[in-house]
Structures are given as structure tokens and as C-alpha cells.
Structure 1
Amino acid sequence: MFPAASLLMIVLLALSITASPVEIRNSPITLPIARRLNVSNGTNSLLQQDKARVAALKDPSFKHSAITTPMINVGNSYTVAVGVGSPPTTYTLIVDTGSSNTWVGAGTAYAETTTSVSTGNTVNIGYGTGFFYGTEYTDTVTLGQGLTIPHQSIGVASIASGFVGVDGILGLGPVGLTLGTLIDDPTTAIPTVTDNLHSQGTIHREVVSISFEPTNSQPVTNGELTFGGTIANKHAGPITYTPITTTQSASTYWGIDESISYGSTTILSTTAGIVDTGTTLIFIATDAYNKYLSATGGSPDSATGLVLVSSANYKALQNLNFHIDSETYTMTPNAQLWPRALNTYLGGDSNAMYLVIADLGTTSGAGLDFINGYAFLERFYTVFDTSRSRIGFAKTPYTDSDIN
């Protein structure tokens, strides 16, 4: 018989080379995610900040010309607490799968400790909703209950704009998005937090899982971010994976291929788009959006910019279906509704019914034809799997919730 330690090593080796999907449950690295609205900067601010981000995502060169770009404060952010330094200072960072650099200093100033090492490199990144300019450091990053990542690259902002009530960003996008962000070394990719957790042996697979619960409260802790695997009780039924799309520019991000139907009517044929925690709404190509407006009887609201429907139209609303490979992920009429309890935060009527589908601003066939933002993610468990270049989705106990 094998000694216990040897048997464990064999099991781990088998997991590392198997070609079949393996769900690693009860990962030790799980952080709570909090949602916070900040829409004090005027009407339409939520839609405007989302549209500014959409423009940046559709134009990869945007991140290199950030400082001259007009800024809009982040309206809806999803944050985690991350420690930096030894002893660590805790920073509130936006969870962003649409960018890959991790940085601090927008709010709480960076505190240098014995583990802080300046590389001397200058970092400059634009996000549409804001930008930061500063210096690259390596430092110890702490996640959760004392789990540390030594020598993690972080940006330290000397100038930051557009980030209110947060300290920076935890970048969870593909590592390729870091290319060009170091002004002094634009051809070098910067290992992300997830990269280093994997390369340092802390997690077995380079996987990030995100779980949200639909909510009509503000602010609220309503999600979990898990590194290295998945949490079984956060999803209902199996996780089904789809490969990263090969279509540019969606392939630069966490991009997938999907089609969308309203009821039984296809409004967007199979095309490429992205999955993004940093976008609040669901954006679809203009031709699909116009079909959606016509089918729902909705119209853009002058106060919020969101799609407004009457009570009668809402009662007639049909399911919105996202077809990914052979699977269909359905958003019920209630799931398509912005939480009515939060209408006034947008400058809207407390009794109105606003929908979470918005116009991407370009017609389909542009290479990035949809963005499945938070409104989608709060209904489906999502797994970002760098190790196998794929994204997984599953229903959750809240997929069909009538909370709104």
C-alpha cells in the first residue's frame, strides 16, 4: 500500500493532467463581494458610466490615451477588501474581469512597508469610467483570511480620476490586457493576481468563480469571489463550459459566442461578445436592441436612459434567452427588471418599471456585439477558467427569483 502522503501526491498529479473537467469544491480562497451604488452625479449617471466603459472595451487603444479622456464617476461598483503590504493595509477594490492590472491609491493612500519594492515603471490605464496614472510596485497582497501572494505587481496611483468611494481595482481579466500598461516597458505582460496564485502553487487551477445574489438593497454584501475552484452550494445543476471566442476584439477579453432570443424570436444571431463584472447592464448590438424595444413595447426613459415599460407591457413580457453552445440561460421577465426599490437612486420614478437591456451603440458584426454584465451574472454562476481557456455557467438558487 502507498503511504498517505504518496497517495495524495498521485491524486493531485492525476487531477493536474486529466482532460476532463474537474470541479474543485470548497476552495479555501473565497472573498465576499459588496455592491455599492454611487449615482450622485446626476441623472443618467448609471447608464452613462456603463456606456463610457463600453466605449473603452470596444476600443483597446483607449487605455493608452486615458488622461485626456473626460471622466464619469463609477455608478455601480462591486468590491472586495484586499490587503497590501506587511503588515497589510486594507483597500476596497473593484472586482473587474474586463481589466487585468491591480492597483491602489484612488482613495486610501498606499502605505509602504518592508515588502514594498518600486520597479520604477510608470503605469497608465484608462477605463472609460476613470483612469489612473502612477508607479508599479511589487508587494505582498493578502486575500481572505491571511492568504498572501508575495511579490505581486500592483500599481500605485499618483493621479486617479473617476473612482469615488473605492481605492482601486482588482484586475481579473486575461493577462494580455496588461500589455501596454507599463509606459517604460509596453511589450511586457504583468502577471495577474490569479497568475501568481497559480504559479506559486497556492491554487491548483487558474480559475476564478463569481457568485452573486439578486438584491434590491443598497449597499449590500451579495456575492462571493472564489479563487482556484468552485463552491458547490452556489450553483444549481452542472456547470457547462464554452471556449473563449476566436473573434476579435471579444477574444481579447473573457469573450464567448452566443445568440439571444426574446420568447421564440431570435433578436441576435450567434456572434461574439464578452462577460464583464465591471458593466452593470446587459448591452446588445443596436439592431438587436431595436428588435427588443419593438417586442417589449418599451422606450428609452428621459430621466434614467433605461428602457421603460408600462405595467401592461411588463405583464406581457416574455423570457430573454441566451443560447451558448447547446445550453440556454433564461432571464425571466423579473430578471430583466431593474430593482424597483432602487429606482430613485437612478433619478427615476419609484413606481416605474425599467429594464436592464441597453443599446451597445453599434450594429452586429463588429466583433464585440454584446456585454453580459452584472444583470446577467447575478442570475448565473460564472467560472472564468484561464487554465482551459473557457468560461462556465450554471443556474443558481436565484436564477428565477422574483426579487425585483
Structure 2
Amino acid sequence: MVSFKSVLATVALALFAQGTIIPEEKRDDSPGFVTLDFDVITKPIDVNATAKFISELLKLEKRSPIPLSLINEGSSYASKITVGSNKQPQTVIIDTGSSDLWVVDSNAQCAPRVSCKSSGTFSPSSSSTWQSLGAQFAIGYGDGSSSTGTWGKDTVSFGGVTITGQQLGDVTQTSVNQGILGIGYTGNEAVTDANGNRDISNYDNVPVTLKKQGKINSLSYSLYLNSPSASSGQIIFGGVDNAKYSGSLITEPVTQPGVALFINLNTINYNGQNYQVSEDALLDSGTTLTYLDPQIASQIAQDVGGNTISLQYFSDGSSAYFIDCGASTQGSVTYTFGNGAKIVVPLSEFTFNAGNGQCLWGIQPSNTNILGDNFLRSAYVVYELALDQVKLAQVKYTTASSISAI
């Protein structure tokens, strides 16, 4: 397991007071899918965290898997779940780029200037179903933040269903603002301790448990991030909302099956200029920006921005592309994938407020291609883990719904 992955956002807003119980909607039917709504929480991008992450990505060899998340950038997608026999409320970030569920212990030590208890905490001693596994949980991130604690098992509820004996991390020390619900491959789990020693075996994470306990028919989920201005979106475990996309879903094979959700990115086109990529790209809801091969990122920045986009350097030697906040955002960028899936992204998705009158450009250099939220908002994505494939279609922003089980 390598030590860097894609970008997750820090959330400093308290969505629940500690000890509050979330009323749970009971479900008597068995439709074969589970819907989980999430709230979109926005904040300016942490430029320093992004610059550090770029620096680390450029150190990696091409095609390196990136199994962990960086957590200090822009918008995030947060869902409400409960943990324990007494249904203790948690708000966790949905992350397709990692694979572990972890929550913040009620006695956790938060790093300075980190509000790690603001989105719900967990008290294992108050849950009659908690089972400690006696092993260390440890996870590290590309911006240098980390979380450590212990592994255990407990009851987890969301979307009107309950799964039992779910393995998760109970974090007692962290520099991250809230828990994470990682839903990637089990081969991407954080099963080594803080010293890099393998401390525990790979296990059934939340998507696998949903399937094994009969809550969903297939080991799959579909993701609808909604429009840039939306306040909510939805993930459907085991199902697809056929009202949320235009045209047909195109199947693209996963190129790193069992490890991470990479697919082949063929070309990128802007204003008639075609950029040949022909490399893997990670589809990651835990990342705010898009990260591409340095040469391609540089070419696109020059062609799109001219004098409005510049590469700025920081005192530690890291760098990032910035764009004039008043630059035109007319036009679009078209992504084409190996099997012919095509997604059109408006250029407005590539200007991000970084505070202090600065705007970060939405395509940054990296030796590993990552398509983050500024791509995923324009796509309806179905992740079929058991089949090692992803289906893509152009998103349709609508309140209509037509959900069917996969």
C-alpha cells in the first residue's frame, strides 16, 4: 500500500450535536437497492494542502495505485449514518477512492485547529454490539494528515437499512475533521498499522456487507453528485436511477481490478484541440480537482488560459496552477474513454475560489491521472465492483427519479 491518494474535503460545520439520535426510516420492502442521500458542503480550497498533494503526486511513478485520501480541499459530499446498538449519529464523507469506514471516538484527540468532533462522535462503551478486534487502525493522507485508533465491529445503519458486525475504525487521534465512508475495492483497505506492518486481514467493507446481508442484489453503486449549485445528491447501492442521465450508459473496464477504480482515459478535447492521453484515470469522489499528466496539464493551461493561467511556486518548492478569477468560463472540455464513453464538462467547473482573491485552476499536474468532483458532477457513474467495470453517461440534472435494482 502506497501512502498517497486523492483529495477529500475537510468539513468544519457541525451537522449534529454529540449524542443526538437520527430518526431512522424503517424499510419493510426488499427492492434490492439502498439509497443514501448526501449534503454538499462547500468551502474555499486549501491551497497549501493542494500544493503539497501535487508535489507528492509528482514523486510517484506513473500508474501507481493511490489507495488513501487527502482531506483538505474544497467541497465535500457528506452522508448521515448511525453506528452502534444505540444508533449514534455520524456524518461521513462518501469516498470512492478509499475503502474503509472510520468514525471519530468521543474521547479522540483532535490536532490543533481541527474540529474532529464537529460532525458526530462514537462511544464504543455505550454500544452493546461493539466488538474490539485488538488491532491498530491507521490511515495517512497526501497532505500529511492522519488518523489512528483501533479496529472493531458494530452495527451500522443508513438509508432505512441496518447491517450488523461491520468492521470499522474507531479513531482516537486525528488531524482530519470528520469520518470517512470509503466504498472502493477491499484490496484498497488500510490494513497496515502506523509502522507499515500488516496488522489485520482484508475484510468485508460496507458495499460487500450490504450484498452479503441481502440488502442489495449486486455489489455495485451509482453516483449522482448533482449540479455545482446543488445542496444535495445521492448514491444508490445496488441500483441505478435511469432518470439521471442522457443517452446510454457505456461500459468501461476497470484497469486495476480489485485495487482501485481506474479506467482508460483516451482523449481530452478543448475548443477543437485534441490531447491524446491513453492512460489510466482514477474516478474519485473524494477529490475536488482533476489531475493529469504534467505535459498535458501544461498544454491545456496554455491553450485555455493564455495569460490568465499561471504556475505559481511556494516556499517549499511545490507549485500549482492559478487562474484569473475574472477569466472567461465559456466553452467546455470533452473527455473520451477507451470504449467510447464521452463526457462533456463545462469550463466553469475549472475555476475554484481559494480565498484572498485567488482562484485555483481545476486541472493540476500529476503522474497519476485523477478525475475528481469537477468531472464527476457532469457524469452519471455506475460502479460495478464484482464485474470490474464502470458505466458512464452524461448526467441529467433533474428531480425526476426512476430507480431500478442492478
Q: TM-score, normalised by structure 1?
A: 0.74
Residue 383 of structure 1: aligned partner: 382
Percent identity reads: 24
CA contact (8 A) 1:208 1:229 kept: yes
8 A contact 1:53–1:127 mirrored in 2: no
- What is the aligned partner in structure 1 of residue 403 from structure 2? none
Relative to structure 1, is the Cα distance of residues 74 and 321 closer, same or farther in structure 2, using a 3 angstrom cutoff?
closer
Relative to 1, partners in 2 of residues 1:81 and 1:140: Cα closer, same or farther, differing over 3 Å? same
Aligned residues: 341
Distance 1:28 1:61 in 2: 29
Q: 1:150 to 1:54 in 2, by over 3 A?
A: farther
Structure-1 separation of matches of 2:56 and 2:184: 15
The farther-off stretch of 104-113 and 267-276 is 104-113
Which letter maps to 1:123?
Answer: F
User: CA–CA distance in 2 between the matches of 1:36 and 1:49?
Assistant: 23
Structure 2 CA distance for partners of 1:310 and 1:279, relative to 1, 3 Å = closer
Counterparts of 1:92-171 in structure 2 under 5 Å? Answer: 92-105=91-104, 106-107=116-117, 108-112=120-124, 113-129=127-143, 130-145=145-160, 147-161=161-175, 163-164=176-177, 166=178, 168-171=179-182
Unaligned runs of 5+ in 1: 1-24, 363-367, 400-404
Q: 1:320 to 1:205 in 2, by over 3 A?
A: same
- 1:150 and 1:358 map into 2 onto residues whose CA distance is 41
Q: Aligned equivalents of 1:61 and 1:50: distance in 2?
A: 12
Residue 285 of structure 2 aligns with which residue? Answer: 277
Separation in 1, partners of 2:332, 2:122: 49
User: 2:240 is paired with a residue of what secondary structure?
Assistant: coil
The separation in 1 between residues aligned to 2:380 and 2:342, in whole angstroms, is 14
**Structure 2: which 5+ residue stretches go unaligned?**
1-29, 105-115, 314-318, 399-406
What residue in structure 2 maps to residue 356 of structure 1? 362
User: How do residues 292-311 of structure 1 correspond to structure 2 at under 5 angstroms?
Assistant: 292-296=300-304, 297=306, 298-300=308-310, 305-309=320-324
Residue of structure 2 aligned with 1:286, choices 280, 285, 294: 294
Q: CA deviation at 1:270?
A: 0.8
Counterpart selection for 1:226 from 217, 221, 236: 236
Q: Distance in 1 between matches of 2:389 and 2:60?
A: 19
2:247 aligns with 237
Match of 1:198 in 2: 211
Report the secondary structure of 1:230's partner residue: strand
1: CA distance, partners of 2:82 / 2:58: 31
d(CA) in 2 for partners of 1:310 and 1:37? 18
Higher relative contact order (CA 8 A, sep 6+): 2
In structure 2, do the counterparts of structure 1 residues 323 and 265 end up closer, same or farther at CA, with 3 Å as the change threshold?
farther
2: CA distance, partners of 1:395 / 1:266: 20
Deviates more, 1:124-133 or 1:90-99: 124-133
How far did residue 55 of structure 1 move? 7.0
Give secondary structure in 1 for the equivalent of 2:192. Answer: coil
Deviations 1:11-66 (A, max 9, x none): xxxxxxxxxxxxxx9764111122223449xx624634764785799766996xx9
Paired residue for 2:263, among 253, 256, 260? Answer: 256
Contact 1:262 1:321 in 2 (8 A): no
The alpha-carbon distance between structure 1 residues 231 and 60, as it changes in their structure 2 partners (threshold 3 A), is closer
Structure with the higher fraction of residues in strand conformation: 2
Q: Determine if the alignment matches structure 1 residue 30 to structure 2 residue 35.
A: yes
Whether 1:44 aligns to 2:47 is yes
Q: Secondary structure at the match of 1:376?
A: helix
Deviation at 1:179, TM superposition (A): 5.6
What RMSD over aligned residues (CA atoms) do the two structures have, in Å? 3.3
2:316 alignment counterpart: none
Deviation track 1:329-354 (CA, whole Å, cap 9, x = no partner) reads 1223334444xxxx3xx2153xx876
8 Å CA contact retained: 1:27, 1:230? no
Q: 1:74 to 1:269 in 2, by over 3 A?
A: closer
Encode CA deviations 1:94-117: one digit per residue, 9 max, x unaligned. 111111111101423322211111
Secondary structure at 2:239 match in 1: coil
- Give distance in 2, aligned partners of 1:138 and 1:44: 37
In the aligned structure 2, how far is the partner of 1:318 from the partner of 1:327? 16
- 1:77 is matched with which residue? 76
Q: Which structure shows the higher helix fraction? A: 1
Change (3 A) 1:26 1:232: farther
Note closer, same or farther for the CA distance 1:251–1:115 as it changes in structure 2 (3 Å cut): closer
Say yes or no: does 1:215 pair with 2:228.
yes
Q: Deviations over 1:256-286 (max 9, x none)?
A: 1112232333323211121101110111110
Letter in 2 for 1:96: D
Q: Secondary structure at the match of 2:211?
A: helix
Instruction: Give the whole-Å Cα distance in 1 for the aligned partners of 2:97 and 2:208.
Output: 16
TM-score calculated relative to the size of structure 2:
0.74
Per the TM alignment, residue 309 of structure 1 is displaced from its structure 2 partner at its CA by 5.0
Residue equivalent to 1:5: none
Inter-CA distance 314–185: structure 2 relative to 1 (3 Å threshold): closer
2:76 partner letter: S
Q: Say if 2:265 and 2:335, in contact at 8 Å, map to a contact too.
A: no
AA in 1 matched with 2:337: H
Q: State the alpha-carbon separation in 2 of the partners of residues 310 and 75 from structure 1.
A: 16
Provide closer, same or farther for how the CA distance between residues 159 and 264 of structure 1 changes in structure 2, counting only shifts above 3 A.
Answer: same
Give a deviation string over 1:204-228, Cα, whole Å, max 9, x none: 1001111011234xxx632101101
